[in-house]
A = this chain, B = another copy of it.
Amino acid sequence: MTAVDIKALASLARPASRVLAQSSRNTRDAALCAAAMSLRRDYEAILSANARDLDASEASAAFRDRLTLTEARIEAMATGLEAVAALDDPVGRLLAEWTRPNGLRLRRVATPIGVIGMIYESRPNVGADAAGLCLKSGNAVILRGGSESLHSARAIHAAMVDGLRQAALPEACVQIAPDADRAHVAAMLAAAGAIDLIIPRGGKSLVERVQREARVPVLAHAEGLCHTYVDGHAEPEMARTIVANAKMRRTGICGATETLLIDAACAEALLPPIIADLAALGCDFRADAAARAILPELPAADMADFHTEWLDAVLSVAVVDGVEGALAHIARFGSAHTEAIVTEDAATAHRFLSGTDSAVTMWNASTQFCDGAEFGFGAEIGVATGRLHARGPVGLEQLTCFRTEVIGQGQTRP
């Protein structure tokens, strides 16, 4: 029953994706701007749908906060769609062009991926953001938000469809799972050939389930266990500022630093002020023996702590033996997301930048910069830590693939 529902959506999505792939930039932008206007026009209906979700929810305050829409949050969604409309068109970009000795001209051209399945938790704004990025990049999308946000998601979806209609694009370009049945997720994950890419966005357990069960390619990260390594050649003030920001600016985002690695060469001098800065900001610690030899008041870490993405005001701390020690620690405990080094030594920095398996490596910058907007992508639909297609923030460019056009003058192959 449920699999059939999703199959029915997917069978509408494929032809819609083909129309969308052939549509002009202006048409897609018009749909985005019209959807933004519909969100604004229908904000009362959206708020009352949201109130129904909130009334039915018995979740925690933090969960309810993510679920809650306000007029300002609806305006932010609308502004977001307009901002995406204003970005460069990712479709049709000429990625490479070359000519063969036989005169064949080859052109690699960016194309939409096709049909994207977006699985997210009960944050209604994610539906609008994701639909906007998929539409801009010429991809049809099937949205499946958290079951607690169903009425909100439907109301937002209605605004997106209204935008599509006004731009004379197929309504099936943006679809939504028909009800809160949890089996829709399984059906989407099984839809090989009908859905081309699944993007899950939410907590680790959701993402890990998707990665484990999907029969469809997935772009995602389950964890952001990010490290900041303070090298012996770090400028001390910069190290203090970067570590404080990387850990404490926002503790709940995937680019937040979870483990501080500090070079034994400077730990005695630099660890105390860094820890004092963080403690003053309300941070707690789990420190290895070498760090506790310098600061005995720090709580002791066990191995599990270095495997933990705290997403909270807690920092694992280890003293390492130079950049090689840092890289060995990251290879053992990292999640291939983002790692930073603070150093004035360029050779050490370059060793670090290219020495990890991670999607993003940084030199003298806060790991919290790992974000599509900060990278200049305008917006992101997620962050990927896989090893194929896209790594790091996933923006419009990463929502495209390519085809090769071969232009001849009658050539045949000898």
Q: Which residues of A contact B (CB under 8 A)?
A: 18, 22, 92, 98, 100, 104, 106, 109, 113-114, 192, 196-197, 211-212, 217, 235, 238, 241-242, 244-246, 249, 331, 349, 353-355, 357-366, 368-371, 374-376, 386-389, 391-392, 401-413
Do A392 and B403 have beta carbons less than 8 Å apart?
Answer: yes
* Contact between B374 and A100, CB atoms less than 8 A apart: yes
Complex Cα–Cα for A359 and B364 (A): 41
Provide a sorted-by-A list of 26 A–B residue pairs whose CB atoms are within 8 angstroms: A106-B375, A192-B212, A196-B387, A196-B388, A242-B412, A244-B412, A245-B412, A245-B413, A249-B413, A349-B407, A361-B404, A362-B405, A362-B407, A362-B408, A363-B407, A363-B408, A364-B410, A364-B411, A365-B406, A365-B408, A369-B406, A370-B406, A375-B404, A388-B401, A391-B401, A391-B402
Beyond A196-B388, A245-B413, A370-B406, 9 additional contacts (C-beta under 8 Å) are A98-B376, A104-B369, A217-B217, A217-B386, A245-B412, A349-B407, A353-B405, A365-B408, A391-B403
Are B376 and A100 in contact (CB-based, < 8 A)?
Answer: yes
> What CA separation (Å) do A298 and B331 show in the bound complex?
64
| Residue of B246, B364, B407 touching A407 (CB-CB under 8 A) | B364
- Shortest beta-carbon distance from A335 to chain B in Å: 12
List chain B residues, Cβ under 8 A from A100.
374-376
Interface of A is mostly: mixed
* The 10 A-B residue pairs with the shortest CB-CB distance in the complex, in nearest-first order: A365-B408, A245-B412, A389-B389, A362-B406, A238-B410, A368-B413, A196-B387, A364-B408, A366-B412, A388-B389
Q: Which residues of B contact A362 (CB under 8 A)?
A: 405-408
Contact B392 A404 (CB under 8 A): yes
Whether A387 touches B413, Cβ cut-off 8 Å, given contacts A362-B406, A407-B363, A408-B362, is no
Q: Which residues of chain B come closer than 8 Å to A360, judged between CB atoms?
A: 403-406
Taking a contact as CB atoms under 8 Å apart, the answer to whether A22 and B388 are in contact is: no
Contacts of A238 in B (CB 8 A): 410
B392→A355 contact, CB < 8 A:
no
Indicate whether A413 sits within 8 Å of B197 (C-beta atoms), given known contacts A363-B406, A404-B359.
no
**Most chain B CB inside 10 Å of its own CB: which residue of A92, A391, A407:** A407
Query: A48 CA to B53 CA in the complex, in Å?
Result: 73
CB distance from A214 to the nearest CB of B (A): 9
Taking each of A217, A242, A349, A369, which has the highest tally of chain B beta carbons within 10 Å of its own beta carbon?
A369
In angstroms, how far is the closest chain B Cβ from the Cβ of A397? 9
Contacts of A235 in B (CB 8 A): 410
How close is A128's CB to chain B, nearest CB, in angstroms? 24
Q: What is the CB-to-nearest-CB distance from A396 to chain B, in angstroms, rounded to a whole number?
A: 14
- State the Cβ distance, A136 to closest chain B Cβ, in Å: 18
Q: For residue A409, which residue of chain B has the nearest CB?
A: B364
Q: Contact partner of A388 among B242, B357, B359, B388, CB < 8 A?
A: B388
CB distance from A318 to the nearest CB of B (A): 20
B residues less than 8 Å from A106 (CB atoms): 375-376
